[in-house]
Amino acid sequence: MYTTDLTDTQWQFIKSSLIFEERKRKHDLREMWNAILYLVKSGCQWRMLPKDFPKWQLVYYYYYYSKWATLDAYDFVLEKLRGKVRVKMGQKEEASLGIMDSQSVRWGNNRSLNGIDGNKMVKGIKRHTIVDKNGFLIAVMVCVANIHDSKAALLLMRIIKEFLSGIKVVLADGGYRGELAENVRRMYGYVINVVMRTDDETSDFKPVNKRWVIERTFSWFDNDRRLCRNYELLAESSETMVKLSAIKLLLGKI
């Protein structure tokens, strides 16, 4: 029994959301989810999953190759969880306000694609992320670290559009200034509101109103050891790990 194991309530939510095919299996799909969430939290290698889980090859198959893993099931579970938690908090199920920023992450696998973020002096990748006002993940896109935020933002907006999201206004920092806001409004219909800092180097630090919540989201990601560095070979797998981390967080709130 591990702290990341799903409770009965959490498993029933996932099971009802994905509507698994009922058939005889050697290993319960709940065990697969428990193993995957354990890996996200502990940061261990696939081959080093504890022996009380199914074989790592089988767990990896369900994580990456199975039918429910390749049909955007993680996005679907994340969306339903986010809506359920928002309603529980007395908010509308679908967010209309998003907060956008990027997180530069050092590489932990020298075979993966990587670049250098010259501003933060980080060699690795960037996680371009949009969250709601609570800091709950809406969308994520991973690319090499040397791509500027303003260029990656257009692709991130495209993902939001494909999700048929109810987002209308997106808060962002000064890195998204310039022609980006007009291009996003013209191409996707979203309004980017750039919120700049008002303090200076001599004053005490003050979090930027509303925009600070995405920094808290990044700290939530870093609490999961699989995400504190990028160990994935593919950007797609890096995005999946972020979604699983967000799912794990939200499962604890239902």
Q: Which domain holds residue 101?
A: 93-235
Neighbours of 15 (CB within 10 A): 14
Same-domain status, 39 and 140? no
Tokens of residue 40, six digits: 């996200």
Helices within 71-169 (DSSP H only): 73-88, 149-162
Question: Could you tell me if 62 and 32 are in contact, meaning their C-beta atoms sit under 8 angstroms apart?
Answer: yes
Distance, CA of 243 to CA of 127 (rounded, Å): 11
129 and 228 assigned to the same domain: yes
pTM value is 0.92
What is the per-residue pLDDT for 110? 78
pLDDT at 68: 76
Residues 56 and 152 in one domain: no
Q: Are residue 103 and residue 224 in the same domain, yes or no?
A: yes
Q: Note whether 53 and 59 are within 8 A (CB).
A: yes
Number of domains in the chain: 2
Pair (23, 145) in one structural domain:
no
Same domain, 136 and 214: yes
Q: What is the pLDDT along the chain (254 residues), one digit of tens a residue?
A: 899 999 999 999 998 888 766 677 778 899 999 999 999 999 999 999 999 999 999 999 999 988 777 778 899 999 999 999 999 999 999 999 999 999 999 988 878 778 888 888 899 999 999 999 999 999 999 999 999 888 899 999 999 988 878 899 999 988 888 888 889 999 999 999 988 766 655 556 566 667 889 999 999 999 999 999 999 999 999 999 999 999 999 999 98
Helices (H), the chain: 8-18, 29-42, 56-60, 67-70, 73-88, 149-162, 180-188, 213-222, 235-251
Both tokens assigned to 222: 């870093």
Q: Is residue 78 part of a domain?
A: no
